[in-house]
Structure 1
């Protein structure tokens, strides 16, 4: 099967709301390869009433390229995003709608992250909680924060763990801090040391 210079066969990635960064990079490359990126980015002028034959031909070509871009966008979004761009009059409008959806997702992540930070700050080990349960709760919570863009080092997480253990662990915490350098310790090793005591 032969392909012309503007057709290609590939698995197109679908925008699902969680993969905007990767999806937009890939879509820009595809749109560039298809020679329709500028139509999506800049749009094209409407046809004026007194248009010359050249202007009519140019408009017709731009409209064809815009339809090609819309077709690609429709194929590369999930159902929820398709509904958002279904009424768009141009590929440029559709792209702007998708970008605005991304901004909404980012804003939601920021709000969610603020809530998680607050929960993280007040997190303490419960009296009846086992070390493994507490460590798993902290790791699960910090993983959720990282998924929303928070940058956290293992050392920060271990320091939080040691600070928030119940008082009966105080002497163990001192022993761990004196005998091991936290910057070289892994979270699993810390958990193992705590469970051993």
Structure 2
């Protein structure tokens, strides 16, 4: 996801966040233009996040007012807290250690199963 948002020059706004100022009175034209650019980047990043998630993920972030809020929600939902992460890693390690090739599968299928678990381990840290 970082690659997608970064390729569109939106990753920085997702990580640092964007807050709409309560009052723009007294802003110069340059400040108003900078605000407009920042707002557009945030909305573009939010749109990319909407497009990148499935229906379930979209329902979780649909009411987010900024890309950072949406990202934080997705991060929490998909990673969970540190304890959940550790349990998930422990489970995946056990699954990998106990993997055996089934009599009904060929080597390619077994390697695919192993790679799937290894990828899940990498995704979870």
* TM-score category, normalised to shorter length: 0.5 to 0.7
Q: Does 2:107 correspond to 1:107?
A: no
Which of 5, 18, 21 does residue 44 from structure 1 map onto?
A: 18
Question: Is the Cα contact below 8 Å between 2:14 and 2:71 reproduced in 1?
Answer: yes
Does the alignment pair 1:85 with 2:61? yes
Deviation at 1:38, TM superposition (A): 0.2
The aligned counterpart of 2:51 is 75
Q: Which runs of 5+ in 1 are unaligned?
A: 1-26, 114-144, 158-185, 189-197
Note the alpha carbon deviations across 1:121-158, whole angstroms, 9 max, x for none: xxxxxxxxxxxxxxxxxxxxxxxx97x3224535xx8x
**In structure 2, distance between residues paired with 1:187 and 1:80:** 34
Aligned to 1:30: 4
- Report the TM-score, using the length of structure 2 for normalisation: 0.64
Q: 1:187 deviation in Å? A: 7.2
Q: CA RMSD in A?
A: 3.1
Seen in structure 2, the aligned counterparts of structure 1 residues 44 and 150 have a Cα distance that, compared at 3 Å, is same
User: How many residues are aligned here?
Assistant: 99
Of structures 1 and 2, the one scoring higher in RCO (CA 8 A, sep 6+) is 2
Structure 2: runs of 5+ lacking an equivalent: 103-125
- In the alignment, is residue 150 of structure 1 matched against residue 93 of structure 2? yes
Select 1:64's aligned residue among 34, 40, 48. Answer: 40
Q: Which is greater in Rg?
A: 1
Q: Distance in 1 between matches of 2:101 and 2:68?
A: 47
TM-score where L is the length of structure 1: 0.43
